[in-house]
Structure formats: C-alpha cells, structure tokens
Structure 1
C-alpha cells in the first residue's frame, strides 16, 4: 500500500472520529501523527515537530490567557459591567456583547475568545430570561468577523505571516490585517443587529454539556444568578433514583432544564451514569415546576 493511500485512509478515519465525537480530538490528532510515524510516512522529527512549532505554542498560550481571564475574574467583572449598562435593552446588550467579543478576539484569538465568553453568554441569557441561542450565535459570528483585526486574531493569520516571511523575507505586521478586518468586523456587527430578531432560533438546550457543567457553582457564586436556578436534592423516596443523570431525567417536567448534577459525596459534577439518593440537581426554570 502506497504512502498516499495510507494518508488518505488516515484522513477519512480521523474525520470520522471527529464527527463521532466519542474520542477526544486531541487523542485523535496525536494518534494520526503516531500512525504516520509507524507506517514510515513521516520521520520522528516531523511527526512530533508540531509540538514545538511556534504557531502551536502561540495558540496554546492564548488558551492559557483565556483561562486566566476567567480564573482572575476579568470576565466576571466585564459581564457585571455589561449587565449594568445594558439594562433591559436587548439591542444595547447585543451591541455591547458583540463589541466585547470583537475586542477579545483581537487580543486572545477567536478560539480562546469563544472559550472565555461562553459562560458569560449563558449567564446573560439566564439573567435576562432569553434563549441562549440569541446570545451564543451572535457572539460566535462577531468573534469570527473580528479574526482579521490583528495578527493573533486567528491561527491562520499567524500561519500566513510565517509563509510571507519565507516567501518575501518579511512577516505580515500585527495590524496589517485590519485593512480588511475592520470593515468585516463592523459589517458583521451591523448585520447581526439588523437581522438577529428574525434569523436567530429561539431555543435553549435541554441541558449543558458535561464538561461545562462544572461551571455551574462558579456561575452562581460569581454572577449571582440564583434567580431562575434551583437546587433539587434526590430523596430516598424519589422516582429519580436510578434514572439517567442527563436531561432525560426531567423529560416529564417541560418547564425545567438541567444545568448540572452534583455528586452527593464530593460535591463535584456527577460522573456516574445514573442518579442516586442525595445527588443534587441544579435546574433552570419556573419555581412552581421545581417545587412539584
């Protein structure tokens, strides 16, 4: 079997695994590199060279900065400031959120911005009692529209700069992308403001992903979003004992959506597939429905 055939097979297998989603993407990526090495297509220095590539290190460091912004309370402060000035105006909230997303993207890249602002958007949706889709989708569009404001707005910008340096012995400047980036960012914001009322879906997920549910307690403490969130403890007589620890356990209560499930022993997000006595359900919805 030729090297080209093996490479195409690995591409389609990795694509299938990415779509399947059961194996972490990082494990799939490392597996492809190792497969290329063991099949003799790439030598060891090329198969593992990406770990020391400047572009990879830069992108990874930006994710660290994004985590630092959340851990240090910067996103909390920004969210509280946004809520304070936006008030009850949806249009004003949308403008502030899109501008914030664009600014973050220009400084910590598109992927790190989405990771940092995703909890904030969920908090705003809960506080203002609006569907999460009405904030998450505009935030994502605004960040992608602002990727060309600076050199670090997107990984492709850094790769293009390195390619330019190799071709003409001069990298692309930090703000050179802004010639096209500023009109694109402003145009994205204007289009979203003019069309979000009609084009965006009015939906909220029945539950949050397991890897995001760990933020539940942090969101409650830092953003003070107790309103609309309820803690329900599974009692010994509850019919929920043995039920699946996901949104299926609340299928009979249409007014509630599951935010997180906490383990009765550790207080951490539940890792078991089924509920047990003492587990705590954090739900969002009507207080009367939660009290039933």
Structure 2
C-alpha cells in the first residue's frame, strides 16, 4: 500500500472520529499524529514540530487575553449593554445583536463571544415574549462572519500566513486588518441578508421564562477596576498588532502575562 493511500485512509478515519466524536476531539488529534508516525508518513522528530511554531504561541496568548475579558465580566458587560440599547423589538434587537457579535468576535473567541451573549439574549427574549431561536441563529452567524475581519479573528486566517511563510514568501503575508477589506463587506452583506431575507425563514420557538444557560466561562472577578485594566490591555494588544510595533506573537504573550500579573485572570 502506497503512503498516499495510507494517508487517505487515515484522513477518512480521523474525519469520521471528528464528526461522530466517538472519542474526545483532543484524543483524536493526538492519536492521528501518532498514527502518522506509526504508518511512516511523518518522521518521528517532526510529528509535533508544529507546536513549536510562533502561530501556536500567538493563539495561546490571545486565548488568555480573551478569557480574561470573560472572567472579569467585561465582555458580558459590553455585549449586554449594547444589546439592551437596541430595545426589545425583534428587528432592532437582531440588528444590534449581530453588530456587537461581529465586532467582538473579530478580536475574541467566536465561541466565547456567542456564549457570553446567549444568557443576555435568552433573558431579553423571555421578558419580551420573543422567539429565542430567531435571535440565537443570527448571533451565531454574526460571530462567524466577524471572525473574518482580522488576522486573529479565526484560526484559518493566520494559518494562511503560516502557509505563505512556509512556502518562502513571507513578503506576501497578510497584515492585521488586511482581511477586513473582504471580511467587512461579507459581514455587512450577511447582516443585510439576515435583516431583509433570512429572518423570514428562521425557526419559531417561544421562550416562556428566563432560561438558565451555562456560559463557557463564568465571570469571577467583576470589579470595575479589573474590567478597566483588562480593557486597556486588550486595546494595547490590538493596537500593537495593528501597527506592527512588535511581532504578533510577542504582543499576545505580553498581553497574556499582563492579564495574569494584574489579576484579571489567575495563572
């Protein structure tokens, strides 16, 4: 059996395990790497070589900074305030929800953004007797679209940079906001579509009472001081990345360290 056939079979098995989640996803990923070595597809000394890439450090740092915003309650506070600002009318709530979800997910975790806004949306929908499902689906779409606007908004964006660097073309790598030239129009188009067409095919499901929705991250340190410090750190990290004052991964790691040192998130 040729290495190409072995690789295709392994890929099919891994895809099946990812889709069915018969075993934890992390275990599937690790076992896939080990299988590559066992089948002779990748040299042993290169199996986990990707973990030493600066991209991994970048994502690690941003995960910490983003988590700090959720732990301090800053993300929830911003999201809740903006959503409530648009009132309880279904159309205005949907519009405001999609706007804030898109903006937040451009710099934070798409999943975290969605998770912190879900309880707010469920509560508002219950009180206003609106269909929660008609708000949650637009929220999910907007969070996905917003991630296309920046280099760190979603993993595939920065992985494209990694591919260019690996191919020996670092001069063609994308800037922090370069994705926005396409990402912002796509996001706007998605919001416009949902407001004028998509909303008519959204499912109906009334919420009679405030649902107790578990968040991905619970706010544990919600003092105004911590929220202000965390906000300053996030702005500094994004500003450093946008202006290329320091390398992206360095800015992310420094931001993560500052979040820990200032008590915005525990080690």
Structure 2 length-normalised TM: 0.69
User: Distance between the aligned counterparts of 1:50 and 1:213, measured in 2?
Assistant: 36
User: Distance between the aligned counterparts of 1:217 and 1:4, measured in 2?
Assistant: 42
Larger radius of gyration: 1
Where in structure 2 are the equivalents of 1:1-292 lying within 5 Å? 1-108=1-108, 112-129=109-126, 130-165=130-165, 166-167=168-169, 169-203=171-205, 215=215
- Secondary structure of 2:162's partner? helix
Bigger RCO (CA 8 Å, 6+ sep): 2
Deviations 1:140-198 (CA, angstroms, capped at 9, x unpaired)? 22123233322222222212223344326342122222222221111111111112431
User: Distance between the aligned counterparts of 1:181 and 1:217, measured in 2?
Assistant: 27
Which structure 2 segments of 5+ residues have no match? Answer: 223-267
Cα distance 1:90–1:154, how it changes in 2: closer, same or farther (>3 A)?
same
Choose between structure 1 and 2: higher helix proportion.
2
Indicate if the aligned counterparts of 2:112 and 2:216 stay in contact, CA closer than 8 A: no
Indicate if the aligned counterparts of 2:106 and 2:152 stay in contact, CA closer than 8 A: yes
Cα distance 1:203–1:10, how it changes in 2: closer, same or farther (>3 A)?
farther
Cα distance 1:199–1:58, how it changes in 2: closer, same or farther (>3 A)?
farther
Indicate if the aligned counterparts of 2:82 and 2:100 stay in contact, CA closer than 8 A: no
Deviations 1:193-213 (CA, angstroms, capped at 9, x unpaired)? 1124312112489xxxxxx97
Which structure 1 segments of 5+ residues have no match? Answer: 206-211, 223-292
Cα distance 1:159–1:12, how it changes in 2: closer, same or farther (>3 A)?
same
User: Distance between the aligned counterparts of 1:81 and 1:214, measured in 2?
Assistant: 20
* Aligned-pair CA distance for 1:218: 5.3
- Secondary structure of 2:42's partner? coil
Indicate if the aligned counterparts of 1:67 and 1:116 stay in contact, CA closer than 8 A: no
User: Distance between the aligned counterparts of 2:122 and 2:43, measured in 1?
Assistant: 50
